[in-house]
Amino acid sequence: MVTRTVSLFFWMAVAAISGYWLLPSSGHLLGAFFVCLFTVIKDLWKGQKITEWLRHNNVKEPPQMDGIWGDLIDRMRRILNEQRKQTQYEEQKLQDFLLAIQASPNGVVLLDPEGRIEWSNQTAAQHLGMDAKRDLMQHVVHLVRDPVFKKYYSSESHDGEVIIDGRSVSLQKSVKLSVQLHNYGESRQLLLTRDVTTVAHADAMRRDFVANVSHEIRTPLTVMSGFIETLQSLNLEKNEREKYLDLMAVQASRMQDLVNDLLILSQLEGSTLPSTNEPVSLQGLMSSIESEARGLSASQLFENQEPQILNFETPESVQLHGANKELHSAISNLVNNAVRYTPSGGLITSSWSLLPDQRIQFSVADTGPGIASEHLPRLTERFYRVDRSRSRESGGTGLGLAIAKHVMQRHGGELKIESELGKGSKFTLIFPASRVMLETESF
């Protein structure tokens, strides 16, 4: 600034002296005036250049000037560069934040004070069946036509969430969404969506499970209560009393089986996965299961009925790594089911075989009535029965296949079911090669 002032006075002095030499009366004043006018015009021209530079926001290409204007441009350029960097940093943070919300498994929708969509992530768009770009600035109620949501949106309080039907990918699979509104900013709202289909399904299964358990226990309890009341109120003959007591014992055994299966399921769900270092001898395992099956078959045989034919094939020198009790439960449930549902004179065959990929499978085939194909996908559901009356007569609890499937999942295997009406059924357990140990090469 000092240099600029000294320079101005210097040129004014030079102009005044030159003017006085040319025009002694007033030349010095005209010289000084023209120097000032030239300086003002030059400054206006430089100011215009700087204004044009700022107007175009071209920080990288400032006009080349010296002196005070050059210093001013350098200062302004540094400030603008810092502001631009800060703006870019904030924009990047915003983009990162939006990407994080975009990756969220929950849906997020930003609504303006009028309820129009300002932004939404793809999850919300998928949940609500809308297009994240096309439907911007559309009113959310016009897009989400569920009456439950409309009533919720129009209410004054949004403290809790509501469950609505989401956009289903197929007619067989319904989707349930949890939606909740939150106020933020100046009269704006944040709409959160969450897929609760699995939770709703689990809750429905829990309710069905409790209802089924209650029903299964209530039936034998009702029978036993009736028999007890009969024994208490009537003077029965010895043979009649023994008959009622035998029937009560059957119902008590049925309840005991149900409680045992429930306890097994509970233990399976709450325990750690089976060890891969605990060997289980198939010969010892199958010997126990065969004894149980033959006893069950004999107990079901009435007078003048042809006995069932039971074939058991057990490999020698083969062991499985797993939990002995769990394997016994899974295999015995399949074998006992075959015994229960195969008529007298029928054939039941259980066998083990080694697959080419070193996996091992256990199969139980029977010549029973078979199962219609529409029932096969649901057979492993708890308490699911194709014929409820026949299942109760056979003494089944409705939990055997559920236990077998759970045991196989815990051992890294799978349960396969094949059946055809009138031709019998085949149930197969396939164990991974990692759980098979062969003591000899022969099988």
What pLDDT score does 388 carry?
A: 55
Q: What is the mean pLDDT of the chain?
A: 80
**Residue 266 and residue 281 in one domain:** no
Pick from 414, 407, 419: nearest CA to 431: 414
Average pLDDT of 366-371? Answer: 90
Domain count, the chain: 4
Do 108 and 50 sit in the same domain of this protein? no
Place of tokens 């897009």: 143
Same domain? For 434 and 290 the reply is: yes
Please give the helix or strand (H or E) that residue 293 lies within, else none: helix 282-299
Tell me the per-residue pLDDT of 18-38, one tens digit each, with 9 for 90 and over: 554 554 555 555 555 555 666
Given 255, 271, 287, the domain boundary residue is: 271
Residue 443 has pLDDT above 50, yes or no: no
Q: What is the CATH number of the domain that holds 141?
A: 3.30.450.20
- Distance in angstroms (rounded) separating the CA atoms of residues 128 and 196: 13
Helix (H) or strand (E) holding 137: none
Q: Do 289 and 345 belong to one domain? A: yes
Token code pair at residue 151: 């009533």
Which CATH number covers residue 245? 1.10.287.130
Q: Taking 60 as the threshold, does the pLDDT of residue 421 lie above it?
A: yes
Structure tokens at 199: 């939770």
Q: In what order do the strands lie in the sheet with 309-312?
A: 309-312, 347-354, 360-366, 424-431, 414-420
Banded model confidence at residue 104, pLDDT cuts 50, 70, 90: confident
pLDDT category, 254, cuts 50, 70, 90?
Answer: confident
Q: Answer yes or no: do 432 and 380 share one domain.
A: yes
Phi first, then psi: give them for residue 274, nearest 5 degrees.
Answer: -60, 145
Q: What is the pLDDT of residue 59?
A: 54
Domain edge (last residue) among 271, 288, 314: 271
**pLDDT of residue 429 exceeding 50:** yes
Strands 347-354, 309-312: pairing is: parallel
Q: Which pair of structure tokens corresponds to residue 292? A: 């149980």
Do 51 and 139 sit in the same domain of this protein? no
Residues 429 and 411 placed together within one structural domain of the fold: yes
Concatenated DSSP letters for 27-78?
Answer: HHHHHHHHHHHHHHHHHHHHHHHHHHHHHHT-TTS-----HHHHHHHHHHHH
Does residue 150 or residue 72 have the better pLDDT? Answer: 150
Residues 6 or more apart in contact with residue 399 via CB below 8 angstroms: 258, 261, 262, 264, 265, 382, 383
What is the structure's pLDDT at 83? 80
Based on the domain organization, do 287 and 259 belong to the same domain? no
- Among 82-91, 232-241, 302-311, 321-330, the range with the most confident prediction by mean pLDDT is 321-330
Q: Does one domain contain both 353 and 440?
A: yes
Model confidence pLDDT, tens digit, residues 177-218: 999 999 988 889 999 999 888 887 777 777 777 777 777 788
N residues, the chain: 443
Q: Out of 109-113, 138-142, 210-214, 240-244, pick the least confident.
A: 210-214
Q: Are 424 and 350 in contact (CB under 8 A)?
A: no
What residues make up the domain containing 7? 2-99
The domain boundary, picked from 170, 195, 220, lies at 195
Report the DSSP beta bridge partners of residue 70. none
With a cut of 80, say whether residue 162 has pLDDT above it.
yes
Task: Looking at the structure, tell me whether residues 87 and 52 fall in a common domain.
Answer: yes
Q: How confident is the model at residue 352 (pLDDT cuts 50, 70, 90)?
A: very high
Taking only the tens place, the pLDDT of each residue in 398-410 is 788 888 999 999 9
- Same domain for 389 and 279, yes or no, is yes
Other beta carbons within 10 Å of 361: 16
Q: Say if residues 293 and 310 touch (Cβ distance below 8 Å).
A: yes
- Residues 264, 223, single domain; the answer is yes
User: Measuring CA to CA, which residue among 96, 102, 148, 141 is closest to residue 125?
Assistant: 102
Give the pLDDT of residue 32. 56
Given this model, what pLDDT does residue 365 score?
Answer: 94
Residue among 269, 222, 253 at smallest CA distance from 397: 253
Looking at per-residue pLDDT, the higher value among 234 and 153 belongs to 153
When mean pLDDT is compared across 23-37, 147-161, 235-249, the lowest value belongs to 23-37
Q: Which of 103, 114, 105 is nearest to 141 (CA)?
A: 114
pLDDT of residue 197: 83
